[in-house]
Structure 1
Amino acid sequence: MTIGRFNIELLEAFVAVAESGNVTRAGSRLNRTQPCVSTQLKRLEERVGKALIERNARTMNLTAAGRILYQHATEILRSHEEARLRLAAPELTGTVHVGLPEWYATDKLQSIFCNFVKIHPHVKLELTVADSATLHDMLARNEINLAIALVSSSEKSKPAETVEEALHWAVSEDCTLTDPLPLILFPEPCPFREMVFSALAGAGRQWYERITTTSVAAAQVAVRSGAGICCLPSGALLDGFKVLKEQHGFPALPATELAIYTPSTNQSPIVDYLEEHLNALLQSATAPHSALAGKIQPDLRVV
């Protein structure tokens, strides 16, 4: 069987559906109508000669052919985007210092920054990984040029563009779930603490603080060892973690908000360009299985 040449727009539609979970969200992500995305997906399947997605009333699942194409399509689109950015990129020279929360410093996100310096070989990139409170303090002291950080409830005005990230109760399979619950927490002023205390109190649960750490990596090790229950954002969940839900007796947690911050509006062209690029990246993170949230699962669940 001969397969026709792949079209970039068709691959974009397919990957958007795979990562967004349904055609409607894919259309919003691509700024295309739902019928347009459906048509492009059908055209791609006709070109491949095989079904790529199995659909029923409640779920959408990648077929075996769909999983194979997804792996290659993401690489094709990544290479296409890098070429497009290199050709369109302005000439930038200088140093930019960026701050990231620890759980957001994923391989895929860091690869975004590595590609940025590849596209701009005369730019030096400095990365600081720290908690959001520290990053806000560094911004206030003009020690960093840009940060992706949690939106604080004490802020007088919320940033214009934010992205929500879900919080989860994470445990290992052998962790005790009887009261008082052993908690793994981050120290003040971590906003997760009050969310945890308020949610557990509302559910009538009792708890005690077993481990307090400033390190997301240390909290992940503690969870994996069965030492306790930890409130973690989607991007910090690891393979093997069990996520507790309301049917387990754990109330839903409110989502956190992330935004891009800069010390002032008078930034260098490097910071302006990087901020614009990252804003688009953060908006795509609203997909349930986005690149920023870790691994893409082969199954698509429509909620």
Structure 2
Amino acid sequence: MFFIYDIRMFDIFKTAQLTPDLLRSFVVAADTGSFTRTAGLVHKTQAAVSMQIKKLEEDLQCLLFKRDGRGVTLTVEGEILYRYSSKILKLHDEALTAVSAPTLHGKIRLGAPDDYAMKHLPGILREFAVNHPQVQIDVFCDDTPTLSKMLKNGQLDLVIATDKVKTKYSAPLELTWILPQRMDPSEVEELPLALFHPVCCYRENGLKALNKIGRKYRIAYGSPSLAGLLAAVQGGLAIAVVTKDTTANGCRHAIPSDGLPPIESIYIDLRFQPGIRSEVISVFGGFIAKGLGIVI
């Protein structure tokens, strides 16, 4: 019986090191389709994430991602590595949990607007669960005014919210216009807008910017959710106000030649129940603050 080996495989075995740190960045990049969003979720710079992916591709001698202007998608080889990476990370995390004797228990009631929940919570919840698997977390999604009222009434333990001004635990969020890929706003006499419902910082700051330059507009679509607004933009029907890290297929951010005014930044903040916090709430709040770039 004879065995034929590809000499390249020996080179790969010598050089490739599939460490959990590398694989975690790879998996998050595949899940988000963006190195920029991955950087925030794994707490690294975008350059560091790009270098990690480049190292993986060089070590494995294949391309793992297809890159284009909208983000990244997995190649065939990337899909294969993704399946194995998920299994490796699951076993890695289970092993750490098995020997670390987690001590935190309890239940946490977290409130967050749905767009913040989709963007920020996956990585935060994943990291917290690895370290404290015995804690139950219930997530409630609604707009900031509703969640603030629930927090005040004792129905929530902490809330991720939006504010027009800097608060005790907050970080700035830059806003921009998102519009259909082929729309030229300079050729539209009355801008069709897709906006969050009233009492929303995104809405207020967007309208304030348009009013300041005397730009004509009409509110064509309203929704309490980001998905609802982006549906109108992706359909080529309106433009909307979003954070600069928000992207969508068939859409683009405004450029100077569009003639749209800059929008004043807002703040994402973390709010707790008044009084003494339990250990589990304090620890979880620390994980959220770290994920959002908030100093606590």
Normalised to the residue count of structure 1, the TM-score between the two structures is 0.65
Look up the match of 2:205: 195
Does 2:107 match 1:95? yes
Write out aligned runs for 1:48-63 (5 A).
48=60
Higher relative contact order (CA 8 A, sep 6+): 1
Q: 1:180 to 1:278 in 2, by over 3 A?
A: same
Structure 2: which amino acid aligns with 1:181?
L
Please list the CA deviations of residues 186-206 of structure 1 after superposition, one character each: whole Å capped at 9, or x if unmatched: 233101123212322344421
Structure 2: which amino acid aligns with 1:106?
M
What 5-or-longer segments of structure 1 have no aligned partner? 54-60, 285-303
Q: 1:93 to 1:258 in 2, by over 3 A?
A: same
Please list the CA deviations of residues 53-75 of structure 1 after superposition, one character each: whole Å capped at 9, or x if unmatched: 9xxxxxxx999899679857974
Q: How many Å apart are 1:169 and its aligned residue?
A: 1.5
Following the alignment from structure 1 to structure 2, what is the Cα–Cα distance between the partners of residues 208 and 49?
A: 53
Q: How many Å apart are 1:97 and its aligned residue?
A: 0.6
Q: 1:215 to 1:51 in 2, by over 3 A?
A: closer
Please list the CA deviations of residues 110-132 of structure 1 after superposition, one character each: whole Å capped at 9, or x if unmatched: 47537756865643322110112
Does 2:157 match 1:145? yes
Look up the match of 1:242: 252
Does 2:215 match 1:205? yes
SS in 2 for 1:264: coil
Please list the CA deviations of residues 186-238 of structure 1 after superposition, one character each: whole Å capped at 9, or x if unmatched: 23310112321232234442112222332333222222333321112256532
Does 2:212 match 1:186? no
Does 2:142 match 1:130? yes
- Of stretches 67-76 and 200-209 in structure 1, the one that deviates more from structure 2 is 67-76
Cα RMSD over matched residues?
4.5
Percent identical pairs in the alignment equals: 23
Structure 2: which amino acid aligns with 1:168?
T
The count of residues paired between Structure 1 and Structure 2 equals 267
Look up the match of 1:224: 234
2:22 to 5, 11, 14: 11
> Contact conserved, 2:63 with 2:78, CA < 8 A, in 1?
no
> Contact conserved, 2:176 with 2:241, CA < 8 A, in 1?
yes
Look up the match of 1:215: 225
SS in 2 for 1:221: helix
Q: How many Å apart are 1:99 and its aligned residue?
A: 0.7
Normalised to the residue count of structure 2, the TM-score between the two structures is 0.67
Following the alignment from structure 2 to structure 1, what is the Cα–Cα distance between the partners of residues 201 and 101?
A: 38
SS in 2 for 1:105: helix
Q: 1:172 to 1:99 in 2, by over 3 A?
A: same
Look up the match of 1:251: 261
SS in 1 for 2:136: strand
Write out aligned runs for 1:51-90 (5 A).
71=82, 75=86, 79=90, 80=92, 83-84=95-96, 87-88=99-100, 90=102
> Contact conserved, 1:185 with 1:193, CA < 8 A, in 2?
yes
Following the alignment from structure 1 to structure 2, what is the Cα–Cα distance between the partners of residues 174 and 41?
A: 32
What 5-or-longer segments of structure 2 have no aligned partner? 1-7, 66-71
Following the alignment from structure 1 to structure 2, what is the Cα–Cα distance between the partners of residues 13 and 126?
A: 25
Structure 1: which amino acid aligns with 2:178?
A
Bigger Rg, structure 1 or 2: 2
- Of stretches 89-98 and 182-191 in structure 1, the one that deviates more from structure 2 is 89-98
Q: 1:52 to 1:123 in 2, by over 3 A?
A: closer
Please list the CA deviations of residues 131-170 of structure 1 after superposition, one character each: whole Å capped at 9, or x if unmatched: 12222222222220122222342x6x431x53x4442322
SS in 2 for 1:106: helix
> Contact conserved, 2:190 with 2:218, CA < 8 A, in 1?
yes
Following the alignment from structure 2 to structure 1, what is the Cα–Cα distance between the partners of residues 56 and 287?
A: 28
Structure 2: which amino acid aligns with 1:259?
D
